[in-house]
Homo-oligomer: A and B are copies of this chain.
Amino acid sequence: MRENDLERYIDKIKQMHAKITPQRIEILKIFLSNQEDHLTTEEIISRLSDSKTGQATVYRTLELFCQAGILKKVNFKNEDFARYDLLDLDSKHFHHHFICTQCEKVIEINEDLLEPIEEQIQKEHHLVITNHELIFRGICQDCQNKSDINE
């Protein structure tokens, strides 16, 4: 299944009329095996086995992958560097995220739930909505438990 996914992501590179290079494959595999994380450029560089790969290549590859619809650049925590999230091949919309304001943990939320709201807003504001980004902030379960103990 994962191998199959890899092929499908590679097809997305081909659709951009871009070449399939070892560097691109390796970066793609890094994302496929770290689907829970939201890796930074630096983290990707440190995970590259071939230390000869230049950082410029990484930056250029991430940009390509964003254009190809493979990755989405995110910045949940107002950091001054980018993170990237692997897009799902089968879902029409970007998934939601919850960020804990205490521990900064990021939790992915895969239910969509937004369609009725989008219909209402489209009608009222005369818009055509094609995608969305929804971030919730609050306290995760672990941090709720921690503060219970302290009381």
By a beta-carbon cutoff of 8 Å, the part of chain A in contact with chain B is 73, 75, 78, 98, 101, 107, 109, 111, 113-114, 117-118, 120-122, 124-141, 144
A-B contact sample (19 more), CB < 8 A, given A113-B120, A122-B138: A73-B78, A98-B121, A98-B125, A98-B127, A101-B130, A113-B121, A121-B136, A127-B136, A127-B138, A127-B139, A128-B144, A129-B136, A129-B137, A130-B137, A130-B139, A132-B134, A132-B135, A133-B137, A134-B134
Give A65 Cβ to nearest chain B Cβ, in Å.
14
Min distance, Cβ A6 to any Cβ of chain B, angstroms: 26
The 8 closest A-B pairs by CB, nearest first: A129-B138, A126-B141, A133-B135, A130-B138, A128-B139, A131-B137, A128-B138, A129-B136
